[in-house]
Amino acid sequence: NNVCFYGECSYYCSTEHALCGKPDQIEGSLAAFLPDLNLAKRKTWRNPWRRSYHKRKKAEWEVDPDYCDEVKQTPPYDRGTRLLDIMDMTIFDFLMGNMDRHHYETFEKFGNDTFIIHLDNGRGFGKHSHDELSILVPLSQCCRVKKSTYLRFQLLAKEEYQLSSLMEESLLRDRLSPILIQPHLLAMDRRLRLVLQVLAGCIEKEGYNNVVEEDLSGDTATHRGPGHR
């Protein structure tokens, strides 16, 4: 006697994967602050670490620990900062527990020299008590991160600049405050520590200069090829 909702899309959407109200209401949110497609066309890219969305068939990255080596040789990840941008997106998703990043978008006008639009974060902040470590697989496989990202996370791990506190303070300005309950905020601190643990393991294995890519000076990662080690 519950009312259930399901989406209509080209993949995964079906009555089998419905979300049900108890009995007929369900919480949701929608936020889209992007230029109209007529003004700024966007290009959709398949996430190399997209889940299989299949009950029995696993994605290649789930069975091949060296999968990142293949990605690094494939355009647009073989040049520029795109691979590092994917690492940023991976960490972003892990901090909020979003394991549904099957695609990402860019503004078409900028071609491959662009940033990633973090659109569709609907599965974020679902279970504050569970850390979905599979979201971090791209980071653990590639062992690459921007220096600016690495330094920022080290700062946010300090008690005086704690991520949860800064996030809570920022969200207080929202008209719908409180946006996140305390367990979700504390989960972000816990997950940030896990990210730093993964990076520490990478640095121990590969060496600092081979993991942390300089993006704060004139010699940026933009000018380096994927083979830079």
Q: Give, for 138, the enclosing helix (H) or strand (E).
A: helix 137-142
Among 125, 119, 97, residue whose Cα is nearest residue 31:
119
For 153, how many CA atoms within 13 A lie in the half-sphere containing its CB? 24
Catalytic residue among 85, 88, 93, 100: 100
Residue 206 corresponds to which tokens in the numbers above?
């590969």
100 is catalytic: yes
Phi, psi at 105, each rounded to 5°: -130, 160
- Distance between CA atoms of residues 67 and 16, nearest Å: 31
- With contact defined as beta carbons under 8 Å apart, do 222 and 115 qualify? no
Residue whose token pair is 């969200």: 171
Q: Which amino acid is at 227?
A: G
12 CB-contact burial (10 Å; exposed 0-12 / middle 13-18 / buried 19+): middle
The dihedral built from the CA positions of residue 86, 92, 94 and 98, taken in this order, carries a sign that is negative
- Distance between CA atoms of residues 144 and 226, nearest Å: 10
Question: Catalytic positions, please?
Answer: 100
